[in-house]
Structures are given as C-alpha cells and as structure tokens.
Amino acid sequence: MEKPLFVVLGLLLLAPARPEPVTGAVIGLLAVAGGGYFTWKSLSPRNECNEKGRLDIKALQADLENRVFGQHLAKGITLRGLSGFLRNKNPRKALAMSFHGSTGTGKNYISQIIAQHLYPDGMKSRYVHQFVATLHFPHIQHLDTYKDQLQQWIRRNVTDCKRSVFIFDEVDKMHPGLIDAIKPYLDYYEHIGGVDYRKAIFIFLSNTAGEVISKLALDFWKAGKVREDIKLSDVEHQLSLSAFNKKESGFWHSSLIDRNLIDFYVPFLPLENQHVRMCIKREIMDRGLLVDDELVSKVANDMTYYPKDEQGFSVKGCKVVSTKLGYYL
C-alpha cells in the first residue's frame, strides 16, 4: 500500500547515505511527480556525480537553438548563467534561476535540456530532483512537515553530490512560506552543518508574471518592433516585484527575493504563429517523419491565438502541439 509523501520521505531519510547496488543497478531515492508520493527509481551505473561541473556549452547551445523557439532571452541567460557558474571552481553561493512565463513557452523544456547536458540520464538521474507543487506538497495542513522534510531531502542529496540539481515546478501553486525553507541553502554560507551547498543548482518554474511578459511582447508586436530587441532590463524588475507581491506566486514576501538570492529572473515570451510552426516541424522530425508543410499549417491553424482580432500569440504556446499533431496523423 502506498504511503503519502511525508511518511515515505521520512522513512527514506533513515536510509544509508549511498544506496547499495542491487542486481547490477543502483536504487536511487528520488522525488518524482506522481500524486504526492515518492517512488523508487532504478539507475544505470554510468550515473555519476558531475562534481567538476563538466558541460559542453556548444552542445547545449546547439540543442537550445534546435529545440527552443522564440526565446532569445531565456536561451541567452541560461547559457551565460550556467556556464559562468560552472566555470567558477569556488562559487560563493548555489545557482538559483527563476523561470517565468505563460504555459507552453518552454520553461520545463529548458530545465530538462539542462539536466540532460549535466547528466546523461537527464531527469532520470539520481542527482536531478524534480518537485511538482500540486503533487508533492498538496496539503496545507502538512506545511511544517513538508518544510522539515524538504530541508532534510536537500541536505541528504547535496551530501551525496555537491552538484545536485533541484527543479521546483508550479512554484506559483506552492503554499506561501514553503519555499523559504530552502533559503539557507541558497545563501552565502561556506557550509551549514558541515555540508557545502554552493555548487548545487536550483531552478524554479512559475507562471507568475506571465501577464506582464505577455503585455510587453504584445506592445512590441503592435508597435512593429522586433521581439529580439526586448532586453532583460525591460522586464527583470517587474518579474521580481510580481513574484514578491503576489500571494499566489509561491515567492510571496519570500526571503529568497528579499535577500536577493535569486541570481537570474528568466522571462519566457509568448509564442507567435511562426514559433508554433517551428515546434510542429521539430515534433514531426522527432517522430522520424518528413516535414509536410500542409500538415504543419493544419496543426498551427488549429491552435488558439490572442488577441482575438490580430491572432498574434498562441494561448497555450507549444504545449498541445504533440496532441494536435497526433490527431491529424
């Protein structure tokens, strides 16, 4: 019988620091999305801690260019922020990047690409940990328990591998105050309780400020300006203010923002019809099929766009491209 998150995680924390090999594989303790439960994962022997921060920047850049469309800011900030952090052999603090934007714009996708380039097993790696707010922290009455166990989970895994990656999805749906439980691990401490957290990577995914980013992109579009002229300085301050002041943001009055512990606020712009078409073509190629322009047009035209009259941006970005394509195939 399955046990809820706060029970199972408490039991896992009593386990040895390094799981023992079992029948040629290593059993890892990793939080995965699934109805508020933690489950076991079987891991391959090649999954080793990337202690030295090895990363092929050119390969990462090529992957982002070939798979993420219409996001010049997100791709540029991610590349520079991540490469700069990994080149530093003695960082002063853990890397914290906060991804903001509407659904379907690529926040999850880029975080998955980052994980894949740091660890061959990507999101399946024992050193990549994903938390989904509505699945892993669903009950507000267990908030204090979640805080305690989240701290222990991070401490345990960074002890196992300093270069651990923690991805928090749906931050805007997290209970206010929960995110502050990890504040000590993002601060400028050489170690806490004998553990050095300064090489860890934290990525936060949120829909917060999506309307602010969309308005900026829409204003540029209506003025006939090139979207690539949008700069981080045009929106960064508004992102932090929106996250801090909105109770539904997950960062409401958070010490992470108040203490300037978020290193990069990364805006994800709404996608135009041309970007949706690129997503469709990429999906077709990933399925091993030849690109059919008529099919691309059918799928693209079946998406919903806004504003209603101008049809400028996709309401759901590229989120439903795979489903729509499957329907027409």
Nearest to 167 by CA among 226, 222, 212, 107: 107
Tokens of 285: 């190629």
Cis geometry, peptide bond prior to residue 307 (ω within 30 degrees of 0): yes
Do both 141 and 73 map to the same domain? yes
Q: Which long-range contacts (CB under 8 A, 24 or more apart) does 74-77 make?
A: 74/99, 74/101, 74/106, 74/110, 74/266, 74/267, 74/268, 74/269, 75/110, 77/232, 77/264, 77/266
- Tell whether 101 is in a known binding site: yes
One-letter amino acid of 214: S
pTM, full prediction: 0.83
Read off the pLDDT of residues 273-306 as tens digits, 9 standing for 90 and up: 999 999 999 999 999 999 999 999 999 999 999 9
- Tell whether 106 is in a known binding site: yes
Read off the pLDDT of residues 101-137 as tens digits, 9 standing for 90 and up: 999 999 999 999 999 999 999 999 999 999 999 999 9
Instruction: List the domain range (segments joined by +) for residue 62.
Output: 57-268
Tally of structural domains, the chain: 2
Read off the pLDDT of residues 70-80 as tens digits, 9 standing for 90 and up: 999 999 999 99
- Tell whether 107 is in a known binding site: yes
Do both 85 and 232 map to the same domain? yes
- Tell whether 104 is in a known binding site: yes
The answer as to whether 257 is a domain residue is: yes
Do both 254 and 133 map to the same domain? yes
Let me know: does 146 contact 9? Beta carbons within 8 Å: no
Do both 225 and 309 map to the same domain? no
Average pLDDT per run of 10 along the chain, which is 329 residues long? Answer: 46 38 28 34 59 94 96 96 96 96 95 96 96 92 93 96 96 86 93 96 92 91 92 84 59 71 93 97 96 96 91 94 94
Do both 133 and 278 map to the same domain? no
Rounded to 5 degrees, what are φ and ψ at 243?
Answer: -65, -40
- Tell whether 105 is in a known binding site: yes
Do both 155 and 184 map to the same domain? yes
Do both 130 and 187 map to the same domain? yes
- Tell whether 102 is in a known binding site: yes
Do both 185 and 304 map to the same domain? no
- Tell whether 304 is in a known binding site: no
Rounded to 5 degrees, what are φ and ψ at 240?
Answer: -65, -40
